[in-house]
Amino acid sequence: MNAPHPPKLPLRLPLNWDNQFHQLGAAFYTQIAPQPLPEPYWVGRSPSAAALLGLDAQALAAPELLQALSGNLPLSGSQPLASVYSGHQFGSWAGQLGDGRAILLGEANGWEIQLKGSGLTPYSRMGDGRAVLRSSIREFLCSEAMFGLGIPTTRALCVSGSDQPVARELLETAAVVTRLAPSFIRFGHFEHFASRRQHAELKTLADFVIDRFYPDCRSTPTLDGNVYASWLQAVVQRTAVMVAHWQAVGFCHGVMNTDNMSILGLTLDYGPFAFLDVFDPGHICNHSDPHGRYAFDQQPEIAHWNLYALANALLPLIGRPALAEQALDSFEPTFKRSYQQLMAAKLGLQAAEGDEQLPVLIRDTLAMLAQDRVDYSIFWRRLSHARVSGPFEPVRDLFIDRVGFDTWLLRYQELCAQSEKGPEANLMLKVNPKYVLRNYLGENAIEAARHKDFSGVANLLTLLLAPYDEHPAFEALAGLPPDWASQISISCSS
Ligand SMILES: Nc1ncnc2c1ncn2[C@@H]1O[C@H](COP(=O)(O)OP(=O)(O)OP(=O)(O)O)[C@@H](O)[C@H]1O
Ligand SMILES: [Mg+2]
């Protein structure tokens, strides 16, 4: 028989722990330590995310940190817990869910540190508490890619892997992603307490979020000075801005359940997501979504629907349904304004209030891309180069309907002439990324990582953290995807 392992001293890191979520009390979580991941190895690390905690690349690479973030060594100052939440999944009430495979270590230097895939919790239901290498690499890279693109998101510090087998459709191996966010609280946390009529806890949680992240709502005169309605409105606006970014960059989330909606308007839970290759407005990235509830062009409406579910949960605090409705009404104008600004920037044009030509040009541009199934990111990048230094041929080459393109180009150039003096043209290369995390790029890095070659993950991370820059050594990764890319199928299984 093996001798029992001697107890290990906790790892001390130069972090200021202040575990505020833990201080909320036992109604909100269950204390539970992460389950050890056997013989972990590094899969990827983000020095950019580490800097948020004040850790340099050397501290991030420490073998003790690998052990701590894989559940094999306690972290001094942490108070691990799994939080409880509920939610609507695919439009239906799903009841209690909770962190079934995520464990919050605590809050250090203002960032919550959470492990995803770190073992069973009381909320694991039928699951095994684990995440697989494939989905963990995807989450790691996409979190950092969204940050690189300037889109509100949770961050990812690192991924550790193990040869421990995990059963999904096929046998895969386990991995843990360490995520960072100011808070991982979701719409579903509020729905949980509202559905159980636990109004005291509902208020405690709302006050916690307002005081920490939305303090202005305490003193704003809008919505009759109703703090909770003003706060709802602020969440509505942040969410609308986040989704406007998704639509502008061509990001499809794939599982916009209310338990995957951050109360801070951050992109949360990178599962079957995709960046569009060809522009297909009805694109469904989630193989487990046959009816396309979460199709690309449905995302704004679904975000609004999710906010409606949140508003319902907050009604006991707001008191007057009319105020909640008013707060919800700000979704559409906020989304529209934000989307138009982002698209105007992509076109290198100024977005002026009341301009009627711009929305029409945006609509027609997208219709033209959809008709010829043009690659979304490459179109914008080539357009940026053409606008800055010409010629337009490389853009024209993307289209089958050249006459249609020429007609469009005339209109576009007329509008450009009106704002020729502005800085917008040069800024196009700073808003139209050269590198996006296409599914096939992720697949290639994952396949190499399965054979313990993690260079693909590291290279992608470098590109995705600076997606607007030229990276001559990686020119090929900015090109059109190979034919097999359109056959990739990503399910919810992760
Ligand atoms: N392998 C698993 N073991 C235990 N629980 C799981 C597992 N996979 C998913 N869950 C739980 O199922 C619910 C819905 O899962 P979903 O895929 O939205 O989230 P997730 O990817 O696990 O995590 P997160 O939303 O924290 O990024 C959540 O409560 C989640 O914790
Ligand atoms: Mg989730």
What distance in angstroms lies between residue 427's CA and the mean position of ligand 1's atoms? 39
Structure token digits, residue 273: 């997501």
Residue 355: pLDDT band by 50, 70, 90 thresholds? confident
The pLDDT assigned to 421 comes to 55
Which ligand has the minimum distance to the alpha carbon of residue 98? 1
- Residues annotated as binding site for Mg(2+)? 260, 269
What distance in angstroms lies between residue 451's CA and the mean position of ligand 2's atoms? 28
Q: Is the pLDDT of residue 422 over 70?
A: no
Tens-place pLDDT, residues 110-130: 999 999 999 999 999 999 999
Distance from C-alpha of 481 to C-alpha of 486, rounded to nearest angstrom:
8
Calculate mean pLDDT across residues 316-342: 98
Nearest protein Cα to ligand 1, atom 14: 97
Q: Give yes or no for a contact between 285 and 437, defined as CB atoms under 8 angstroms apart.
A: no
Please list the active-site residues. 259
Distance from C-alpha of 387 to C-alpha of 369, rounded to nearest angstrom:
18
Nearest protein Cα to ligand 1, atom 5: 100
The pLDDT assigned to 19 comes to 98
Residue 315: pLDDT band by 50, 70, 90 thresholds? very high
Q: How many CB atoms lie within 10 A of CB 350?
A: 16
Nearest protein Cα to ligand 1, atom 27: 269
**Ranges of each domain in the chain:** 20-187, 220-341, 342-431
Q: Is the pLDDT of residue 46 over 50?
A: yes
Residue 249: pLDDT band by 50, 70, 90 thresholds? very high
Please identify, by atom number, the ligand 1 atom nearest to the C-alpha of residue 85: 29
Kindly report which listed range (181-185, 352-356, 472-476) carries the lowest average pLDDT score: 352-356
Please identify, by atom number, the ligand 1 atom nearest to the C-alpha of residue 128: 3
| Nearest CA-CA partner of 38 in 132, 134, 177, 161 | 161
The pLDDT assigned to 163 comes to 98
Nearest protein Cα to ligand 1, atom 30: 100
Q: Hey, which of 83, 89, 101 would you mutate to test ligand 1's pocket, going by the most ligand atoms within 8 Å of its Cβ? A: 101
Calculate mean pLDDT across residues 391-401: 98
The pLDDT assigned to 1 comes to 45
Distance from C-alpha of 444 to C-alpha of 456, rounded to nearest angstrom:
7
Please identify, by atom number, the ligand 1 atom nearest to the C-alpha of residue 131: 1
Nearest protein Cα to ligand 1, atom 10: 100
What distance in angstroms lies between residue 398's CA and the mean position of ligand 1's atoms? 40
The long-range contacts involving 9-12, CB below 8 angstroms and separated by at least 24 positions, are 10/73, 10/74, 10/75, 10/76, 11/64, 11/65, 11/67, 11/68, 11/73, 11/74, 11/75, 11/76, 12/76, 12/77
The ligand 1 site (C-beta within 6 Å) comprises 97-102, 116, 123-124, 127-130, 255, 257, 259-260, 269, 271, 494
| Nearest CA-CA partner of 427 in 384, 478, 377 | 384
pLDDT-above-70 percentage for the chain:
98
- Residue 210 CA, chain-centre distance (Å), reads 22
What distance in angstroms lies between residue 316's CA and the mean position of ligand 1's atoms? 28
Which ligand has the minimum distance to the alpha carbon of residue 101? 1
Nearest protein Cα to ligand 1, atom 25: 269
Q: Give me the phi and psi of 459, to 5 degrees please.
A: -65, -45
Please identify, by atom number, the ligand 1 atom nearest to the C-alpha of residue 257: 18
Please identify, by atom number, the ligand 1 atom nearest to the C-alpha of residue 97: 29
Residue 409: pLDDT band by 50, 70, 90 thresholds? very high
What distance in angstroms lies between residue 428's CA and the mean position of ligand 1's atoms? 38
ipTM of the complex: 0.99
What distance in angstroms lies between residue 101's CA and the mean position of ligand 1's atoms? 6
Grouping H, G, I as helix, E, B as strand and the rest as coil, residue 437 is: coil
Q: Partners of 102 in the beta sheet? A: 116
Average pLDDT score over the chain: 96
Distance from C-alpha of 449 to C-alpha of 137, rounded to nearest angstrom:
9
Which ligand has the minimum distance to the alpha carbon of residue 494? 1
- Residues annotated as binding site for ATP? 98, 100-101, 116, 128-129, 179, 186, 269
Distance from C-alpha of 315 to C-alpha of 176, rounded to nearest angstrom:
37
